[in-house]
Amino acid sequence: MKNKLLLFSLGIAVAFSGLVSCGKTETAVADKNDPSFKEDFDAISKSVSKGWVVANNSKPIGTAGWVDGFYYLSQNHMYDGKIGPSNPYNFEGFEGYVSESGNEFAMATANSGHGRATISNWLISPVVEVKNGDIITFYTRTASNPADGADRLQVRINTVNSSADVGREATSVGNFSEVLLDLNPGYALEGDDSYPGDWTPYEVVVSGMPGSTAKKSRIAFRYFVEDGGPQGSNSIGIGIDKFSFRSR
């Protein structure tokens, strides 16, 4: 049976632009009307305090939602139990690799569901002014490629309002009906269409927003895996790091 990643606990931090020197005597302040922001996912408690929302609608629901990227044993097998710094063979992140931005990243795994499950685990951004043409970038990866179990990620946007409503069922999406990216919908284990096994950058252009002016909205990552969970045929675990929203 495929190996399943075990979990630690999660969080996220946002980096804001500061003051920029301009000439000898003047100081220019970053444009307060620019909604652009970045997120390196360093601590879940910090991210939630800044407006990020987590919602695990997996059915049956598992033991963990979005968590901190974690250690695991790199001796060709998983450590059967909670994994932490006390284990001398632990490495940061996925088998010895640090995350794209440093040592931390956001992670969701097969333990989002219980048994054989439909996994629908959401990580939703703070409210942001969004318009068509804005740019979303981020890095993501799974444990390996070829993979022991296929993973999938969707990037969605709320085109209705600024709520974090994703419904309550594994198949519901609430107000996040617009799909900006569907990564590995065919559940490939290897090849060009599969989930990358190394940190890989993705760029997504916002579309589907009504009208031509910016509106308050939210962007969502949805770890969505059918026939997933610890007993399912699919799902191992994914990491997300170095998120950026750029207003154009």
Question: Shortest CA distance to 8 belongs to which of 96, 91, 67?
Answer: 67
Strand partners, 106: 68, 240
3-state secondary structure 33-78: CCCCEEECCCCHHHHHHCCCEEEECCEEECCCCCEECCCEECCCCC
Residue scoring higher pLDDT (83 or 131): 131
| CATH (domain of 171) | 2.60.120.200
Q: Which residue has the higher pLDDT, 73 or 34?
A: 34
Task: Note whether residue 182 is domain-resident.
Answer: yes
| Confidence tier at 29 by pLDDT (50, 70, 90) | very low
Among 34-38, 41-45, 117-121, 156-160, which stretch is predicted with the lowest mean pLDDT?
A: 41-45
- Judge whether 143 lies within some domain: yes
* Residues 208-245: tens digit of each pLDDT: 999 989 999 999 999 999 999 999 999 999 999 999 99
Q: In which domain, by residue range, is 105 found? A: 14-246
**What tokens does 93 get?**
């992140």
* Inside any domain, residue 4: no
Which pLDDT score, from 0 to 100, does residue 69 have? 80
pTM: 0.80
The pLDDT assigned to 11 comes to 35
- Tell me whether residue 3 is in a domain: no
Number of independent structural domains in the chain: 1
